[in-house]
């Protein structure tokens, strides 16, 4: 069944995970979680930036889930659907690295101890926009890698036009033992292979479905199934046929279906694998307050 207001979403036959969603940027996070549940999304990683208003996610999440549950109950048919389980990735985006001062670093270390937190990030380098000076980006990236290591959490890494330096920093600083996710991967199979050799997971988003994204699809076909993740990066980068519109977690099903097709495997097998990977990596088995 397609999520309400969304047409032609694939029925994957198994719950799938959206490992990167900026829920606080959506007009109606509760509605997005409701539609995600209807579409078969069972696990979501919400992203919060410590230099902006992380409270919107940390304090709002319980209410979003409660409202989504109420809406799902009101629309319940023969079988009840429940909202996705949600964990939080908290960090400082490279765009905001100039604001990652000592207070922000201390705050991030504190938030990383919250049981809802499953990762540090997104952090990394963005040399396309250079919204923060590159030295600030480098320093913030290194500091957040240290926090991830100290907190026994994986790190979520954003790299744009900075892959070589990003790899060098990861090698110099050392990978967090809990893992590393290369978020919204848009490189080719050779680049993916370099990250895989370092022990990273590779996460694919809406661009995987774009017509000219042959290299991304080849990478998605080459990544071992136990290192593969899918995401929306919503509200950005909606997959085809929603390209150019507001993205949301329900649409991760389109990316998952596209990757299953390019790999030549059943959609339910792909969905189950990426969901298992996400739940293991982001600590879904960790008990959190109700």
Domain ranges of the chain: 16-281
Task: Provide the pLDDT for residue 1.
Answer: 37
Q: What's the CA gap between 63 and 30, in Å, rounded? A: 8
Task: Provide the pLDDT for residue 289.
Answer: 63
Residue 234: DSSP 8-state: B
* Structural tokens at position 42: 């069972």
Task: Provide the pLDDT for residue 290.
Answer: 60
Q: What's the CA gap between 189 and 237, in Å, rounded? A: 21
Task: Provide the pLDDT for residue 8.
Answer: 79
pTM of the model as a whole: 0.96
Task: Provide the pLDDT for residue 185.
Answer: 98
Q: What's the CA gap between 242 and 205, in Å, rounded? A: 13
Task: Provide the pLDDT for residue 2.
Answer: 45
Q: Determine contact, residues 270/261, Cβ cutoff 8 Å.
A: no
Q: How far is CA 92 from CA 12, 125, 210, 233, in A?
A: 33, 11, 28, 15
Name residue 48's beta-bridge partners.
90
Mean pLDDT of each 10-residue bin along the chain, 290 residues long = 67 97 98 97 98 97 97 83 97 98 98 98 98 98 98 98 98 96 98 98 98 98 98 98 97 98 98 98 75
Q: Which residues 6+ apart lie within 8 Å of 37 measured at CB? A: 68, 72, 81, 82, 83, 84
Q: What's the CA gap between 94 and 126, in Å, rounded? A: 6
The CATH number that domain 16-281 falls under is 3.20.20.140
Task: Provide the pLDDT for residue 286.
Answer: 66
Task: Provide the pLDDT for residue 126.
Answer: 98
């Amino acid at each position: 069944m397609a999520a309400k207001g969304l047409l032609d979403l694939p029925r994957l036959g198994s719950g799938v995970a959206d490992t990167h969603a900026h829920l606080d940027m959506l007009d109606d996070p509760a509605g997005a979680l409701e539609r995600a549940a209807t579409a078969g999304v069972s696990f979501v990683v919400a992203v919060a930036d410590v230099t902006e208003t992380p409270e919107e996610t940390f304090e709002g999440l319980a209410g979003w889930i409660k409202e989504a549950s109420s809406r799902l109950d009101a629309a319940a048919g023969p079988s009840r659907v429940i909202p996705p389980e949600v964990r939080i990735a908290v960090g400082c985006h490279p765009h905001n690295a100039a604001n990652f001062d000592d207070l922000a670093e201390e705050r991030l270390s504190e938030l990383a101890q919250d049981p809802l937190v499953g990762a540090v990030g997104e952090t990394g380098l963005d040399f396309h926009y250079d919204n923060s000076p590159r030295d600030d980006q480098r320093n913030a990236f290194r500091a957040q890698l240290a926090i991830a290591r100290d907190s026994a959490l994986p790190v979520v890494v954003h790299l744009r036009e900075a892959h070589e330096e990003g790899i060098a920093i990861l090698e110099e600083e050392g990978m967090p033992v809990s893992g590393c996710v290369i978020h919204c991967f848009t490189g080719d199979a050779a680049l993916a292979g370099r990250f895989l050799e370092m022990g990273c997971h590779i996460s694919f988003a809406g661009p995987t479905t774009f017509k000219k994204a042959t290299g991304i699809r080849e990478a998605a076909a080459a990544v071992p199934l136990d290192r593969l993740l899918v995401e929306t990066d919503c509200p950005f980068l909606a997959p085809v046929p929603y390209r150019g519109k507001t993205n949301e977690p329900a649409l991760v099903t389109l990316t998952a279906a596209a990757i299953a097709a390019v790999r030549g495997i059943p959609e339910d097998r792909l969905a189950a694998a990426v969901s298992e990977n996400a739940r293991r990596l982001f600590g879904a088995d960790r008990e959190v307050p109700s």
